[in-house]
Structure 1
Amino acid sequence: MKKIDRAITLINTNVRRLRCPHCGGAFTPVVGRSLLCVNAHAFDIAKTGYVNLFTGRQQDFYDAVLFDARQACIAGGLFDGLLRKIAEIIRDAGSADGFILDAGTGEGTLLARLMPMCGGTACCAGIDISRDGIHIASRDYPDILFCIADIAHLPFADGTADCILNILSPGHYGEFTRVLAPGGAVIKVAAADNHLQEFRQLIYSGSDAEYYSNAAVKDLFASRMNLMSVSHVEHTVLLAPDMLSHVVLMTPLLQQVPAEKKALLSAETRPVTLSFDILVGKRPV
Structure 2
Amino acid sequence: MLTCPLCSAPLSAADNGVACHAGHRFDRARQGYLNLLPVQHKNSRAPGDNQAMVDARRAFLDEGHYAPVAARLAELARERQPKHWLDIGCGEGYYTAQLAEALPRAGGYALDISREAVKRACRRAPQVTWLVASMARVPLASASCDFIASVFSPLDWNEAHRLLRPGGGLMKVGPTRDHLMELREQLYDEVREYVDDKHLALAPEGMVLAHSEVLTYRLRLIAGDSRANLLAMTPHGWRASAERRTALIERPGPFVVTVAMRYDYFVNERGAAPAAP
Structure-2-length-normalised TM-score = 0.88
**Map of 1:24 onto structure 2:** 8
**Map of 1:53 onto structure 2:** 36
**Map of 1:44 onto structure 2:** 27
Shift of 1:281: 0.6
**Map of 1:188 onto structure 2:** 172
- Post-superposition Cα deviations, 1:134-183, rounded to whole Å, max 9, x if no partner, equal 11112443232211111111100111111100001011111111111222
- Which consecutive residues of structure 1, in runs of 5 or more, have no partner in the other structure? 1-16
**Map of 2:92 onto structure 1:** 107
What SS does structure 2 have at the residue aligned with 1:82? helix
Q: CA RMSD in A?
A: 1.9
Residue of structure 2 aligned with 1:218, choices 173, 190, 200: 200
- Which consecutive residues of structure 2, in runs of 5 or more, have no partner in the other structure? 271-277
Residue of structure 2 aligned with 1:236, choices 186, 196, 218: 218
- Post-superposition Cα deviations, 1:215-260, rounded to whole Å, max 9, x if no partner, equal 3223323767211011101111111123212211111343333333
| Deviation >4 Å, runs of 4+ | none
Residue type of the alignment partner of 1:21: P
**Map of 2:274 onto structure 1:** none
What SS does structure 1 have at the residue aligned with 2:218? strand
Task: Give, in whole Å, the separation in 1 of the partners of 2:49 and 2:238.
Answer: 9
1:90 maps onto 2:77 in alignment: yes
What SS does structure 2 have at the residue aligned with 1:210? coil
1:68-217 aligned at under 5 Å gives the runs 68-95=55-82, 98-116=83-101, 118=102, 120-206=104-190, 209-217=191-199
Shift of 1:283: 1.2
Task: Give, in whole Å, the separation in 2 of the partners of 1:183 and 1:210.
Answer: 37
Task: Give, in whole Å, the separation in 1 of the partners of 2:204 and 2:181.
Answer: 25
1:62-73 aligned at under 5 Å gives the runs 62-73=49-60
**Map of 1:245 onto structure 2:** 228
Aligned length: 263
Residue type of the alignment partner of 2:14: V
